[in-house]
Homo-oligomer: A and B are copies of this chain.
Amino acid sequence: MIIGFIGFGKVSRTLLKLISSKDVKFITSMEGRSAETQNSIKNENIEVLDTFKQVAIKSDILISATSPKSAPDVALKYGRYAQGIYLDLNNISPDTTDEIGKTVKNLVDGAIIGKIDSDNPVMYISGKKADELLFLNEFITVKKISDNVGDVSILKMLRSTYTKSLSALLIESFEISKTYGLEDEFFDILALTEGDEFRQKSLSRISNTLNSSKRKSEELEEIIEFFNKNDLVMVKAALEKLSR
């Protein structure tokens, strides 16, 4: 069994560590990669081929874990050479997943939820070939959603709908609390029903959102466009809140 990586960031490096089996061989390429990436590849137990085309041809499972922006290009360039499964782990929208599905034959739509380097990351997958990836459960929790490529992307977007709007709500509630000098008490009183970690989790959500409000707004715009047939009141309000 050969697993090939395109992209060698935290996701690929962590999977390399987690999937430790005599039966699995890992390959990648340094073709066109930065000196930093090349160095990090040299430190790992992975075979390096000359080109990503070769990686694609030789892999039983080809994993694309680059960036949302370059995911479609990578799929277009190397997807057609993939003989086995093409597992896309980039944080891409359902539309982009659809797009990629048109050029890549055995596409499996994947997402890792929770921090990849945490105790228990979970890999969600969907697609006709998803069953063939369930053996990875030996190394990382893998949950198959359905046979439909795109369902994982939609699920990711549903998750994002909730978490991003929640952050907007936290920002608003926190602002009002501050007006009355009751922000500490606000967290305390809610911790009684929302759990002990409420304060710390909420403050980190608030600051993460405020620190990257432009990106979060763009993601909310994508969500609103994709779910446009649904009744969207809270999500639209979240976008409005973040744009203030």
- The answer to whether A154 touches B182 (Cβ under 8 A) is yes
A145-176 Cβ-contact flags toward B at 8 Å (1 or 0)? 10000010011101101110110111011011
CA distance A172 to B233 in the complex (A): 8
- The answer to whether A193 touches B114 (Cβ under 8 A) is yes
- The answer to whether B162 touches A169 (Cβ under 8 A) is yes
Task: From the candidates B124, B176, B192, B237, name the one contacting A189 in the complex (CB within 8 A).
Answer: B124
- Expressed in whole angstroms, the minimum distance between the Cβ of A144 and any Cβ of chain B is 10
A32 beta carbon closer than 8 Å to chain B: no
A: interface residue count bin? 35 or more
Consensus secondary structure, chain A interface: helix
A177 beta carbon closer than 8 Å to chain B: yes
**How many copies of the polypeptide does the oligomer hold?**
2
A230 beta carbon closer than 8 Å to chain B: yes
Chain B residue numbers with a CB within 8 Å of A189 are 113, 124, 155-156, 158-159
A212-244 Cβ-contact flags toward B at 8 Å (1 or 0)? 000000000000000101111111111011001
23 CB contacts below 8 A, A to B, read A113-B193, A114-B192, A154-B180, A155-B182, A155-B186, A155-B189, A158-B189, A159-B190, A161-B172, A161-B173, A162-B169, A165-B172, A168-B233, A168-B234, A172-B234, A175-B230, A175-B231, A176-B227, A176-B230, A179-B229, A231-B244, A233-B241, A233-B244
